[in-house]
Amino acid sequence: MYYTGIDLHKKTSYITTVDEQGQVRARRNLPNQLPVILNYFSALAHPTQVVIESMGSWYWLYDALSEAGHAVVISNPCKTKAIASAKIKNDKIDSHMLAQLLRAELIAPVHVSRLETRQLKELLRHRNKLVNDARRMKNRIHILLMKNNIQQPFSDLFGARGIEYLRQLLLPEAYQAQLNVYLSIYLQLGQQIEPLTKQVQQLATQHPMAKLLMSIPSIGPIVAMTFVAEIEDITRFASYRKLSAYAGLVPSLDSSAGKDRRGRITKQGSKYLRTALVEAAQCVARLRNCRLNAYFRKRIVRSGYAKAVTATAHKILQIAYYVLKNQQPYQEQYAARA
């Protein structure tokens, strides 16, 4: 068996292959052209396991090598200390180190979702980016109004009447041009976001995992499908604490001299899942007559709004874990035991 480490970049990949004794058997710096890379692997004398360090563009290479019959893992760069802490770093050394760590079974792998799940992630993240862009346009328009001391006459400036008001608003020339551009971009983004939102909502009504999650107060179609995309399979997590760590909602821990010091949440793991949970927690404030709202209000009194939101997000995640594990919808009131 051979072991191959790939240091993947935008235009090239440095590939190093070692044998079971750790001796280098092949080493190339190749352009990111699939036929060239596949030729490298077909020329090897023995089957090889492959490791690629996680980055934003590993999908195409992972899929191609997997389809070619190679066992491929994606390395978690945060846990690959030998590379992250190396004092001498270059492509040749990094690919060689990856191959040696794979040979020694010291690679911390990243979970690779199924193709359909990755496509769902792309859909949700595309929509999320457009929503964030639209939010930026709204903020810029608010700033323009403040610069000109204009008090908005509507509670929702971006409702139907608010949009008409902005279209007719006259500002000094330097500000008017900005307002026209920002409002135009905001409206165009809205036209792109709406069909994506409907598509996600339609998917949520058909997905059994999403339907279970939407039984939880504050979880709607977007948050439910974000769960589906980021978690994929609840059996990956042995406990809700493991899932909380994956979402980055557990407190950081500094343990020294027998003393444990807990800090802010780690924010490591899936930022998309964490953001969705925080949004769901903020919706809890508007709910009435539910346990989550009661929990949220108690946490506000105890530790303030920001920490209450984080704690409620963690509570929602805990509930979601058991809803999915037990395959039972959320129940606001549990039947009393006989």
DSSP string, 254-315: EEETTEEEEEEE---S-HHHHHHHHHHHHHHTT--SSHHHHHHHHHHHHH-HHHHHHHHHHH
Query: Is residue 30's pLDDT more than 80?
Result: yes
Distance CA(129)–CA(34), nearest Å, equals 30
Distance CA(96)–CA(83), nearest Å, equals 10
Residue % of the chain over a pLDDT of 70: 93
**What is the average per-residue pLDDT within 28-47?**
96
Question: Nearest 5 degrees, angle CA 92-CA 72-CA 241?
Answer: 105
Q: Residues for the chain: how many in total?
A: 338
pLDDT tens, 8-22?
A: 999 999 999 999 999
Q: What is the mean pLDDT of the chain?
A: 91
Strands 71-75 and 48-53: parallel
Confidence of residue 259 (pLDDT cuts 50, 70, 90): low
Confidence of residue 260 (pLDDT cuts 50, 70, 90): low
pLDDT tens, 232-250?
A: 999 999 999 999 999 999 8
Alpha-helix residue ranges (DSSP H) falling in the chain: 34-42, 59-67, 81-84, 91-103, 115-147, 160-168, 173-206, 208-213, 221-231, 240-246, 271-284, 291-303, 305-326
Which one has a higher pLDDT value, 285 or 325?
Answer: 325
Question: pLDDT value at position 69?
Answer: 94
Angle (deg, nearest 10), helices 221-231 and 115-147: 130
**What is the average per-residue pLDDT within 298-302?**
94
Question: pLDDT value at position 312?
Answer: 96
Question: pLDDT value at position 250?
Answer: 87
Beta bridge partners of 251: 265
Residue with tokens 């279970």: 212
pLDDT tens, 40-86?
A: 999 999 999 999 988 888 999 999 999 999 999 999 887 776 554 55
Which one has a higher pLDDT value, 288 or 312?
Answer: 312
164 burial (CB, 10 Å; 0-12 / 13-18 / 19+) is exposed
Distance CA(74)–CA(204), nearest Å, equals 29
32 burial (CB, 10 Å; 0-12 / 13-18 / 19+) is middle
Beta bridge partners of 24: 18
pLDDT tens, 216-226?
A: 999 999 999 99
Question: pLDDT value at position 338?
Answer: 46
Query: Is residue 254's pLDDT more than 70?
Result: no
pLDDT tens, 114-138?
A: 999 999 999 999 999 999 999 999 9
